[in-house]
């Protein structure tokens, strides 16, 4: 329609819309990363708690 990609007109509203969509994308990626980090932290804490419980059970058996 315009001959080449370099001759397509870029309006101010198109730029604003593209920028707002980009900011929205960045925000969603940041939220995904935060959820994943929280999940990993919880998984690590759960694993550490399980190790402590096993260790305590071993100590209780040897004390009996």
Q: Which residues of 31-45 are buried (b: 16+ CB within 10 A; e: fewer)?
A: eeeeeeeeeeeeeee
CA distance linking residue 36 with residue 40, whole number of Å: 6
Q: What is the pLDDT of residues 28-44, one digit of tens each?
A: 999 999 999 999 999 99
Q: What is the pLDDT of residues 40-59, one digit of tens each?
A: 999 999 988 988 888 888 77
| Reported pTM | 0.58
Domain-wise residue ranges, the chain = 35-64
CA distance linking residue 52 with residue 44, whole number of Å: 12
Query: Side-chain half-sphere of 47: how many Cα atoms within 13 Å?
Result: 6
What tokens were used for 43?
Answer: 């998984």
């Amino acid at each position: 329609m315009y001959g080449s990609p370099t001759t397509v007109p870029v309006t101010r509203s198109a730029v604003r819309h593209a920028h707002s969509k980009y900011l929205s994308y960045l925000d969603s990626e940041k939220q995904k990363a935060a959820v994943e980090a929280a999940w990993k932290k919880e998984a690590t804490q759960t694993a550490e708690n399980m190790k402590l419980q096993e260790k305590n059970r071993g100590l209780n058996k040897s004390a009996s």
